[in-house]
Structures are given as C-alpha cells and as structure tokens.
Structure 1
Amino acid sequence: MSELEGIFNPKSVALIGATETEGKVGQSVMKNLMKFKEHGGKLFPVNRKYNEIYGIKCYNSILNIEDAIDLVILAIPAEYTVDAMEECGKKGIKSAIIITAGFSESDNKDLELKLKNVIDKYKIRTIGPNCLGVINLYSNLNASFSKEFSKIGNIAFISQSGAILTALLDIAEYSNLGFSKIVSMGNKIDIQEDEILRYLENDPNTKVIALYIEGLKDGKFISAAKRISRKKPVIVLKSGRSKEGAKAVSSHTGSLAGNSEVYNAAFKKSRVFNVEGFEDLVNLLKIFSVQPRMKSNRIAVVTNAGGFGVLAADSVDKYGLELAKFSKETVLELKKYLPETSKISNPLDLIGDADVERYRHAFELIEKDKNIDGLLVILTPQGMTDSLGVSRELVKLKNYMICKNEKMPIVASFVGGGSVMESRSYLQEKGIPAFICPELAVKALACLYRQSILRDKYDSPEYLNKIRKEVSSVKKDNHVLIKELLENPNESNSKEFLKLNGFNIPKKFVAKSVEEAETYAKSLGKVVMKVVSSNIPHKSDAGCVIINPANIKEAFETIIKNGEKYLSEKNVDGIIDGVLVEEYILGKEIIIGAKRDPVFGPVVMTGLGGIFVEVLKDVSFGISPITEEYAEEIIKSLKSYKILEGVRGEKRSDINYLKELMVRVGVLMEVYNEILEIDINPAFIKEEGHGGIVGDALIVIQNKLK
C-alpha cells in the first residue's frame, strides 16, 4: 500500500484548529469535512477552547483521542505547529496536511526546519505547510479551505499555488472539467510532485494530470513523469521562466543555460506538455479529459467560413498535423449535397448559407472515410445557420461512433460571442471541446496526437551503457594521469583528458619558447596558436588566439604579452604554461557543453557555432543521461538543424558524430563529479561518415578534486 493512502483515502481525520468561528480557516476546513463524515468517515475536531463543534465532540489534545487517526490536518498559528506535530508523532499518526502559513515563505526558515525535523523523526508523510489542502472527490474528502466542489471527473491537479488552483476550480464548471484529486503543495516540506505522480500512475479515476510548478527540489520528477506519461498525459504550467535568477558562469553553456532553458529541457525529457500559459493548460485539460487517442495526424476540417478554414490549415501545418485526403467515395457523395460553389477539398467549405442538414451530411461522410482520424468543425454565426442544431448533430456523431466502438477525436470552434455561447456550452457539456478560435483547436489536436506518439516512444540504453563502460574503464586505468590533467585543466590538458575518453583532438604541442614554437609550427604546417592557461578561460577575448600566423615569433610574443596583461587587469593570481601550437582544422563549427544544475544535475547543450550561438543563441539542452535517441531529439530541435542536413548543395554533416559527442560529454559529467562544466567550442564536424574533431576545450573543476 502506498504511503500516500493516508493522505488521499483516510478512514479517520483529525482537525487541529477546528472552530465554528466564521472567517477562520479552521471553520472552512471543518465545514468541508462534514461531507466526509456524512459518508462514513470518522471526524475528530481538536481545539482546547471547545467541548463540541457542529455537534461533534471536540478534544483538547490529539493524544486524548482513543481511536487511531489516519490523517491529521493543522490549521493553527505557525508557532504552535512544531509542538502539535510532536504530539501527532507520539500518537502514531503517519499522514498530515499542514495548511498553516508563516514559514519559509515568510523568511521563517528556522521554524520550518524545526517542523521538518519533527516530521522526519516520526516519518509523518506531509503535504504543506502554507497550502490550501487536498481534495479527493471519489472518497468525499475535502481536506481544504477551498469552497465545496462537486464536479467529479478524471483530472488530477497538483498546484504549488493555491490561487492558481482556486482559479481553475472556478473556471471548471464553464469548461466542463471534472476532477479526481486536487493537491495544493505549498512549501513542499516533505512530499514532492514525483511521489504524487507515482501514486496517480495506477489511479483508476485519473486519466490526465496537470501541474502548476514554481520550482522543483530535485530531479526525481523527470523519471516519475516520463514513466506515467506513457499511460496518461501530464501537463505542466511553470512560472518564473525569466532569466533573472540565472547565474552566468565560466563557460558558454553556463551563460546560456538559464532557469527557463534547463526546466524546458527537463520537461521535454519528461515527455510532459510544457504549456506557456493558463489558457493552454485549460485547453489541454478540455481535450485530454474527454477525447480518445488519436491514431494518426490526418484530420478533416469542416467549416462554413472559408477564411477560418484557411487559418485552420495554416495551424495544421504549423503544429505538425496533416489535412487528410478525402476518399473518392467521400468526394462523390459530397458533390450530391453541396452547392456548385463549394470546393470539395480539405478544409471542406460548406459555404456561408450552410444549414444543419449540410453539416449533418458532411459528418456522416467523414465518419465513413478511413483516411480521417480527427475532426475539427468550425462554425461562424450566420442568419441561416442554426448553431445549436449543428452542435446537436455533432454530438450525435460522437455518440454514434462510440456505439460502433470507433474512436476519433472531435473538436469544435464556434467562433463568435453571445449567438454561439449556448452551442459551445452544450458541446462542452456533452464532451466535445469547444474553442474560441480554430488555431487553439488545432493546437489541442496536435497535442493529442503527440501523446499517442509518446506512448510508444522508448530510449535504448545500449550505446549509452557502452560509453559508460569505456569511460569508467579509462578512469580506473589512468587514475594518476587524469588527476594530474584535471589539477591544471588548461586547454592542452583538457584535450588530453578528452582524448583519453574517446574524443578526437588535433595534433598539438605546447611551446615554452619562440624556438619551440617555430619548430612545432614547421612540422605541422598551417597552425593555430593559443595561450595555455587554466586561468584564461576565454582566450579570444584576451587576445590570446592567432589563426594561421604569418610570423610565429611575433605571434608567440603577442600571445604571452596579452595573456600577462589579462591576468594583471583581472587581478588573477594565475600562470601561463606556454603557447599551444596546433594544426589548423576546417569543418562546420558546433558547440557542445555541459554544466551541473542544482536541481537536475548534469545538463548537456549543443548547437551550431559562430553566429548561431553568439547572436542567435540557437542552442538546445538535454538532461543527463543522454541516450543516442535523446541526443537526436535534442539536435533536431535546433532551428539550424537543416544546415546540418545539408542545404544548397552542401553535403550532410556527420550527425552521428555529434550524437556521440553529446553522449560522451554526458557520461563524463556522470563519472567525474569534480567536473563542474565542460565547454567544447568549437568542435569541427565533417561530412557524413567522416566524424569530426575537438577545436577548443574548457573544463572547469571544483577547487578540490574528489
């Protein structure tokens, strides 16, 4: 049995802070719990001031209740919660909801720490503090101070904000949204989102899960969400997407990987629907809660307004759906019912004078067409169009398909105001999502189709595990050398470290004098010269990189001079180990990087180099571990991906090499905890089948190696 059963399905509940005083939280919670009592649950009010509340015996201490208590709810001032939870622990209670505010959210972190110590001491699974509470509509439990909510359905909503939660509950009736479980997380002193997701995975009453998240405390969310998303869609609305809280660090990856980018990468890996706003959240709940799985991306659009049909077609292309090609039989039959001015194509324009019969005939023919796996019906107010009549015909179509055990998603966009309001409400009531504009309807259908794809998508760990084995073996066999290299991770040593771990690097030498530099350059031909110092991370900015120098002596002296000037101006107590003389490499520039995120751990980044990263910032992020399939997803999400595929006669780049780099960088971050950042910028990728080579490398380590 799950540890969360006591939270969601208690048989007995005690409310500490119960009262009949209007306006008090304890009174709102007590009134909400009366329904739980009416349906057979045991309810025990606790308050020293009263002998009874609402006719129920009231106890002056939780310890005086003879019965076992499954769940305790605290609605008392913050300063009394620690002692109250201590008594709950002595009583043997294992589940708690702490509604009380006044902890870390009010800078009272010490009190919250004391509270957590008690919770951990007695192993009390706890929601809150500073939360609205928990509602389970299937067990008649409203353990919250929210207003009574009776619309039972299949949506579970988990929210870090009580206000967002109450707003959704208020809009639910209009959108015909029904809920199974509702959880206000508050400060998340104990139970986290991932645990609730695991609980909901096998909950028969929950079909779709939505979360409002301000922040996560660890990366466990990813595995939990990824697992459940194969069975049930998970929708996430994340606030705080700006880069205000992002701290730039030494590497390009660190400066580019802001809070928003890392969370987006985490949600992408989790296979959740990462929506941009509250409207998107509601729209996806509308479609996922009532519509069946979408078999393919082929949809039909039926409209009485050509312009809105075109807008729908634009959205179909934008969101990756396809306008189905009507079968010959469908086309022939449509010609019998449609006026000559109507063009038989998809979108199907029934013309502005379309009546109920014309819509009905179109619905009947589309239902029979095996080329169609989704339907969008658009209607605009016209004098001859009975919008409510059309909506009734659409509901008949839905019910007919259910009777035949044929499941096809159906959505509507009745565009207008008061004249179509009743029709939209009727459709919502009967389980057909109605959107205010076609673009939103198409976007929702596209998400429905994406969920169908995600259910069957799996990553293969074979290649990842192969690289893990290689890197672990290298670490074991070269422990002393690797320690030396990472103690002074200048570019030369960083590249030697990468070479040990399977990366291709250029031919290179470290020159300590002009004479050595001239000798090395002569043996290599065309060269690049750079300062060698772990204290100068961005060598170009310091004037310490010279490509194909005409005079090796002048180049050597310039690099040393500029390096010393940089250290002096930056007041850095560092050393210059020499000048790197390296063969000149050609190829398409890419960037690969990694950093450690405090929540999700190693984050790997890639993108095309040059202007794409410096100006356009066209980079994409992934959360380690990086499998081969996951690496491909990350690469394909780049706006510049088509350049890698080859454009205007260029040959396709070796994308497999790029995938290998991403996997290897992710594994290095796993195996070497002392590495904080890796920045390979650029790496040069050659044409398909010819691999590539590391052009520049920066490794940032902790002050002390582990």
Structure 2
Amino acid sequence: MPIYLSTNNEGKKVLDKIFNPKSIAVIGAPREEGKVGYAIMKNLMVFKEQNKERKIYPINPKYEEVFGLKCYKSVLDVENNIDLAVIAIPSKFVPMALEECGKKGIKGAIIITAGFSEVGNNKLEEELKEIAKKYNIRIIGPNCLGIINMHNKLNASFSKEYFKEGTVAFISQSGAILTAILDISPLINVGFSKIVSTGNKMDIQESDLMEYLANDDNTSVIVMYIEGLKDKKFIESAKKLSKTKPIIILKSGKSEKGKKAVSSHTGSLAGDNQIYDAVFKKSNVIEAETFEELVNMMHIFSTQPPMKSNNIGIITNAGGFGVLATDSCEKYNLNVVEFEENTKTTLKKYLPSTSSISNPLDLIGDATTERYKNAMAILKEDKNIDGLLIILTPQEMTKPLEVAEIIGQLNKEIDKPVVASFVGGKEVKGAKSYMRKMGVPSYISPENGVDALSSLYKYENIKNNEENYELYNNIKQELLNIKNNPERKNIIDNLFDNPNEYNAKEFLKINGISVPKKYLATTVEEAKQYASKLNNKVVLKISSPNILHKSDAGCVIINPKDIKTAFNEIMENGRKFLNANAPNGVIDGVLVEELLEGTEIIIGGKKDNIFGGVVMVGLGGIFVEVLKDVAFAISPISKNYGSSILKELKSYKILEGARGQLKRDIDYIINTMIRLDILMDIYPNIKEIDINPLFVKEEGKGGFAGDALIIVDK
C-alpha cells in the first residue's frame, strides 16, 4: 500500500519542488554512454543550460567529475541544499542512498531503479517506505522512467529529449506506453505540460498528481495509462478535478484475471473489470477502450473547444461514408439534426440540384474546393449544430490539401469542435498532416471522428453532473438509529452468530427492506402448520449458514403439492450437501415462506479491498445467469447516481414498462441499493450481501426480498 505522506499544502510544495527544482542530485551518474544514469545526466544538462543558476550534482564515488561537473561521493558531501534526488543505482544500494537523502534534508526523490515489488522483492520496497516515512520524503517510483516538465525544460528521465510545450499532462504506469505517446505526438502536433512515469507507486499516487495539477495553469487535460490503483482517494480527487479539466484514462489488465470469488453472486460477478468501470464512472473520468482511442481523445481535447450539445453536422463527398458516420452517431449518442431553414435555403444557392440538402450533407463525388468552402461557411452559422465532421474521399475534382487549408481556417473562426476524416492513403496524407499542424484532429475513418466528438459531449455532461446526498444521509441516520437501538441488538447479534436466511431476512426487515411472511420449521408438523397459515401457497427452503446457494443443493421447492414430502426432500438434500462439502455444518430447519410475485431483480453488495463498498444490480433470471446484464456502483450512492447505474442495464426498458407492461418501482430499487451500501459501511463485519431475487412491484408499491444471503466475518 502507498505511504500517504503529507497531502496538505506542505506536501504540494514538495511536489512543486519535484517539478520545478533549482538543484538536482543524480545518484548513480556515470561517465559511460549507454547507461540509464548517463541518459538522465545528458537530459538534465539541457535543463541546466536554460538557467545558469540551476545546479546539477552528480553523485558517484568512482569519479571526480561527470559531464564537466564536480562529482560527489554522497549527497551528504554537497555543500548546498538539494531540492530533488534522482536515483539510478542497483536496487540493493537504494535504501542507503535514500537514507542519506533524508539526512541531507532532501524532500523529493525519483527512484528510477527497478528490482522491487514488481519482481516480488517486497521486503526491499518496504524498507524504502520506512526510510521515506522517517524523513517525510515524497517519492515517484521506484521502477519508473522519470518525469518531464515541458515548460521549464526539465527532463529528469531517461527518455529521449522532447520538448513540445502544450497543455496535456500524461501520467503512465508504463514507461513504454509513455515513450510511445511521446513518439506519436509530433505526428498529431500535441504538446505536453507534464509527463510522469509512476512505476510501482510506492508513495506518490495518481490522486496526489491530480491534486497538484488542479492548480497547474499549464495543464488543461489529464491523460493516464493505469494498470492498477492503490487508493480510494483517486475517486474524490478525480471528481473534483474533472469539474474543470477533463481526465482521460486507459486501464489495462481488465480481462480474464479479474478477482476470483464464488461466495456470492455479487462476488463472482464483480471482477476487476466491473469494479474499475464503476470506479471510473464514479470518478467522472472518460475511459478509453483502446490505445488508439486514448490518442484520439488526447488529440481532440487538447485542440478543440467544448461541444455544448450532442447535435452534429456532417459534410461529405461520399454518400456511403455519410451513412457510416450516421450509424456511428446512433452508437455514440450523437444527434444528426435537421439544419435550420435558413441554412437549407442558403445551401441551395451554392450546391448542384443533385445534392440532397439534408444532414449528412452530400456534396456529391465531384465536389470542388469551392463547394466544400461554401458548405462549411454556411453550416458554421447553423445554431442547431454544435459539432462538425468533415469527410473527404480522394476524387479527380476534389483537392484534399486545398480543402484541408479551408478547414484549418474554419477551425480558427468557429467556437464549435471541428474534426475531419479524409479517407484514403497517399492522396490525402499531406492534407491530414496539414490539418493536424493547424490543430484539427484528422482520422482515418468517420467512426473515429464521431467517437472523438462524442467524448467531448460526454465531458460536458460530466462537468454538469451534481450528486445530491440528501436521501443517502437520511437513510444512513435511520439505519444508525436502528443499530444503536438496544431493542434491535438481539436481531443483529443473531445474524452475526448464525447468518442463515431466516436471520438475514430479520436483519433486512428491521433495516427497512420488506421480506415475505416466513416461519422456521424444524419438523414436518411445524412445516404443515406454518404452510396452512400462509394458505399453502409457499416456498420451502433449507435454513443453514453453511449452504449458501440453496437451489444448487436441491434445497428449494416452490409451491409444493405435499408439504411433508417437500420438507423431507429438502432436509435429505441438505444433509447430503453438508456431508460432501461441510461435514461440520448445521441445518437449522426449513424456511416456510409465502410465495410472492413481481419482477425479479438481483441486488447485492461486497467490499473491495481498495474502494470499499461495491453494489451490484441487474434483472434476475436469464439476464444475470446467461447475459450477465448487471451494473455496479461505488459507495456512497446518491439517488441520481443510483438511477444512472440502473440505466446502464440493457434490460432497463423492462423496468420502465416495455411492451405494455406496467412500470416497476424504480425508486424502490434505488432505495434498496442505498440501504445495502450503508449497511456494509456501518457494519464492518459484513463482507457480502445478496438479495436474489428482490421482487419488485408496480411503481409506488415497493417489493420484497425473496432470498437473502449475508456473509460475515466472525
């Protein structure tokens, strides 16, 4: 876990010294070309040449001088104060070097060296943590490429020299991804403010960097490549920053190696992928699905103004590509709107009669530069349109470079985002390069252009997203009052002593989640008596804390014809299951419960080691068992956040009342999600909760927990 050193103003001052140091020690500065330390020294000499007052101190006991500078045996031998230490020596020597940095009073360090937790050497990394904590040193790394500050020419890394200033801060857990981005960036004319290779993230996390970049005037866009997160603080830091600066993230490692858990439906379905998707949604960041998409988003956010609505205008000289773009707009939630009447009237004056005056605007295959120019000039004034996609395919009459020059000029004059898709190869290569130089994103396909524009619109929604926690806070106070009520203590203790279904439902009932009428029978006679009370329309189920999935064990019978036969069958199947799986397990009896009807929802919660409470929701039956149509929310859950999570379900229309069915009680589902979230928060020994199914009635009529599983730490 990270150290979490000072995150207050003092801590931010240390980060400022890391990015804007006046003096730097390079521990492990060599003379031999080809070594990491040599590349770092070479880069830092450029930093020194920009300002003669900046000091670089090579540290290496082997040499008297390096790069023409006096070389010291230790940082302790340097006469002056040092703002930043860059450490590039074999891993076994790093603790001693860091200890000397602490004694010297150095508060910022970049540990380039590998050979720590990434190769299983956790003990050595823990030793570094202790030293850093002792001296309150902020650390980037270990096992990282280093950092670059484009605006002061600081390259404290072993990356090649690259100093195109811009407004993008790029934070990467992979050095290779970082160098690839730097190599691609000149081709799309993107510049950077800060570059950070985070490595093992022993101390400084993405959250620390976001809090620092929030006040960095040189940064307007934050782009990240993440392999994993170590702190829940990421969520709040990102939510705060995203109000003013877009955050674009590519997360790797989300596929088959998700967390393995089979204790509950929620546990088995909530793998790394699902939890990280929920984290990013909660954090109000924009997630890229591929590296290409990351680059495209980085390009458009760093060059184009906001997209105020999802209304898009499309200009093309190829009808087929116009149709493909329109198809993509539906996929990415963009609206291909009708032009204003004035726009249509004016267009008719400049376009041939064969042109269809509609959106997409097809200029026909023989479109000239003049035709493109007139179309753009007219559409840029259309108030129905808040974004423009301009498509071109190489034709004999169409001059790609001339059209590109017009688009470049348009980009300067318009306060709406403009992207281009010049589809082709050698004929359009020069035109695409020109547009990128002029700050116009240019893509190989219309679909890429639509995707990029949609990310701009998505960010506008994120900026305006506000969560209201009034309902959450009211329910939390209600549940805390129940927890602290001595009269309820017996029910709570029963659950934690014996978490069978009967006790689980009693616990849910006192906490505001309705359950069916139920009785616990230990004999056939009791089962018959209880079934009679419920008019013999019942469900019989085993009650045992050791049989979690009762149906799989053959221990659930719905609406049995003969209570005696059903009771005996359930008890026999329960004993067989325990003999095979939990010989010391117990059976408390058979639950006799009224048979209810309603739309089946699965809803559950579990605790993630990093992010805390995670709540899952989805429709039951085939939707969860086969289609796995579920969505996840990260605690705390506000009413509007819960609503947005429900709307992620492909089957959400069923809840709204598809095909003439009555609308379900959606507010009741959200209320139940919030209650499970809070219960996991205020009862630390609850590990997981599953309600499957939750029967949901018509709008305004609530529902019932049909089955309940609560797993506790004893």
Question: Could you state the TM-score of these two structures normalised by the residue count of structure 2?
Answer: 0.97
Residue 357 of structure 1 is matched in structure 2 by 370
Residue 585 of structure 1 is matched in structure 2 by 596
Q: Distance in 2 between matches of 1:485 and 1:285?
A: 51
Q: Distance in 2 between matches of 1:469 and 1:245?
A: 35
AA aligned to 2:356 is: K
CA RMSD of aligned residues (A): 0.9
Give 1:201 shift.
Answer: 1.1
Residue 425 of structure 1 is matched in structure 2 by 433
Question: Which of 503, 506, 510 is the aligned partner of 1:496?
Answer: 506
Q: Distance in 2 between matches of 1:664 and 1:570?
A: 33
AA aligned to 2:491 is: L
Q: Distance in 1 between matches of 2:235 and 2:426?
A: 43
Residue 519 of structure 1 is matched in structure 2 by 529
Q: Is 1:453 aligned to 2:461, yes or no?
A: yes
Matches within 5 A, 1:160-175: 160-175=173-188
Contact 1:486 1:494 in 2 (8 A): no
Q: Distance in 1 between matches of 2:659 and 2:625?
A: 24
SS of 2:602's equivalent?
strand
Q: Distance in 1 between matches of 2:176 and 2:258?
A: 23
AA aligned to 1:319 is: Y
SS of 1:595's equivalent?
strand
Question: Which of 680, 690, 705 is the aligned partner of 1:694?
Answer: 705
Contact 1:535 1:572 in 2 (8 A): no
Q: Is 1:554 aligned to 2:562, yes or no?
A: no
Residue 436 of structure 1 is matched in structure 2 by 444
Question: Which of 50, 63, 78 is the aligned partner of 1:39?
Answer: 50
AA aligned to 2:47 is: F
Residue 129 of structure 1 is matched in structure 2 by 142
Contact 2:27 2:60 in 1 (8 A): yes
Q: Is 1:329 aligned to 2:342, yes or no?
A: yes
SS of 2:660's equivalent?
coil
SS of 1:579's equivalent?
strand
Deviations 1:481-512 (A, max 9, x none): 31222210100000000011110010011011
SS of 1:537's equivalent?
coil
Q: Distance in 2 between matches of 1:479 and 1:460?
A: 31
Q: Is 1:603 aligned to 2:611, yes or no?
A: no
Q: Distance in 2 between matches of 1:519 and 1:103?
A: 66
Greater than 6 Å deviation, 4+ residue runs: none
Give 1:572 shift.
Answer: 3.3
Residue 404 of structure 1 is matched in structure 2 by none
Q: Distance in 1 between matches of 2:114 and 2:94?
A: 10
AA aligned to 1:270 is: S
Give 1:219 shift.
Answer: 1.4
Question: Which of 623, 641, 651 is the aligned partner of 1:640?
Answer: 651
AA aligned to 1:495 is: K
Q: Distance in 1 between matches of 2:328 and 2:645?
A: 24
Contact 2:258 2:273 in 1 (8 A): no
Question: Which of 360, 368, 381 is the aligned partner of 1:347?
Answer: 360
Structure 2 spans left out of the alignment, 5+ residues? 1-8
Question: Which of 168, 191, 207 is the aligned partner of 2:204?
Answer: 191
Residue 6 of structure 2 is matched in structure 1 by none
Q: Distance in 1 between matches of 2:600 and 2:45?
A: 67
AA aligned to 1:474 is: I
Matches within 5 A, 1:406-421: 407-421=415-429
Q: Distance in 2 between matches of 1:678 and 1:249?
A: 13
Q: Distance in 2 between matches of 1:231 and 1:489?
A: 47
Q: Distance in 2 between matches of 1:411 and 1:691?
A: 48
Deviations 1:371-391 (A, max 9, x none): 111100000001111111001
SS of 2:701's equivalent?
coil
Q: Distance in 2 between matches of 1:423 and 1:311?
A: 22
Contact 1:460 1:628 in 2 (8 A): yes
Matches within 5 A, 1:211-290: 211-290=224-303
Contact 1:132 1:144 in 2 (8 A): yes
Contact 2:491 2:506 in 1 (8 A): no
Give 1:400 shift.
Answer: 2.4
Q: Distance in 2 between matches of 1:690 and 1:226?
A: 35
Contact 1:592 1:683 in 2 (8 A): yes
Q: 1:92 to 1:436 in 2, by over 3 A?
A: same
AA aligned to 2:434 is: Y
Question: Which of 185, 189, 204 is the aligned partner of 1:176?
Answer: 189
Matches within 5 A, 1:90-129: 90-129=103-142
Contact 1:360 1:390 in 2 (8 A): yes
Q: Distance in 2 between matches of 1:282 and 1:232?
A: 17
Residue 683 of structure 1 is matched in structure 2 by 694
Residue 493 of structure 2 is matched in structure 1 by 483
Residue 652 of structure 1 is matched in structure 2 by 663
AA aligned to 2:17 is: G
AA aligned to 1:538 is: H
Contact 1:159 1:165 in 2 (8 A): yes
Contact 2:111 2:144 in 1 (8 A): yes
Q: Is 1:59 aligned to 2:85, yes or no?
A: no
SS of 1:580's equivalent?
strand
Residue 89 of structure 2 is matched in structure 1 by 76
Q: Distance in 1 between matches of 2:118 and 2:587?
A: 48
Q: Is 1:380 aligned to 2:393, yes or no?
A: yes
Q: Distance in 1 between matches of 2:688 and 2:506?
A: 16
SS of 2:467's equivalent?
coil
Give 1:161 shift.
Answer: 0.5
AA aligned to 1:449 is: Y
Contact 1:247 1:255 in 2 (8 A): yes
AA aligned to 1:17 is: G
Q: Distance in 1 between matches of 2:508 and 2:230?
A: 32
Give 1:284 shift.
Answer: 0.2
Question: Which of 466, 471, 478 is the aligned partner of 2:474?
Answer: 466
Question: Which of 535, 538, 541 is the aligned partner of 2:549?
Answer: 538
Contact 2:491 2:503 in 1 (8 A): no
Q: Which moved more, 1:566-575 or 1:77-86?
A: 566-575
Q: Which moved more, 1:479-488 or 1:85-94?
A: 479-488
SS of 1:97's equivalent?
strand
SS of 1:4's equivalent?
helix
Deviations 1:229-279 (A, max 9, x none): 111111111111113242123110001111111111111111111111110
Deviations 1:546-593 (A, max 9, x none): 111111111111111111111001143111111111100000000001
AA aligned to 2:175 is: G
AA aligned to 1:476 is: N
AA aligned to 1:482 is: I
SS of 2:658's equivalent?
coil
Residue 30 of structure 1 is matched in structure 2 by 41
Give 1:480 shift.
Answer: 4.1
AA aligned to 2:657 is: G
Give percent identity, aligned residues only: 58
Q: Distance in 2 between matches of 1:239 and 1:357?
A: 46
Q: Distance in 2 between matches of 1:630 and 1:400?
A: 38
Q: Distance in 1 between matches of 2:522 and 2:342?
A: 82
Q: Distance in 2 between matches of 1:324 and 1:178?
A: 34
**Matched positions, count:** 698
Residue 394 of structure 1 is matched in structure 2 by 407
Question: Could you state the TM-score of these two structures normalised by the residue count of structure 1?
Answer: 0.98
Q: Distance in 1 between matches of 2:531 and 2:337?
A: 63
Q: Distance in 2 between matches of 1:277 and 1:633?
A: 24
Contact 2:340 2:384 in 1 (8 A): yes
Q: 1:379 to 1:680 in 2, by over 3 A?
A: same
Q: Is 1:663 aligned to 2:674, yes or no?
A: yes
Structure 1 spans left out of the alignment, 5+ residues? 402-406
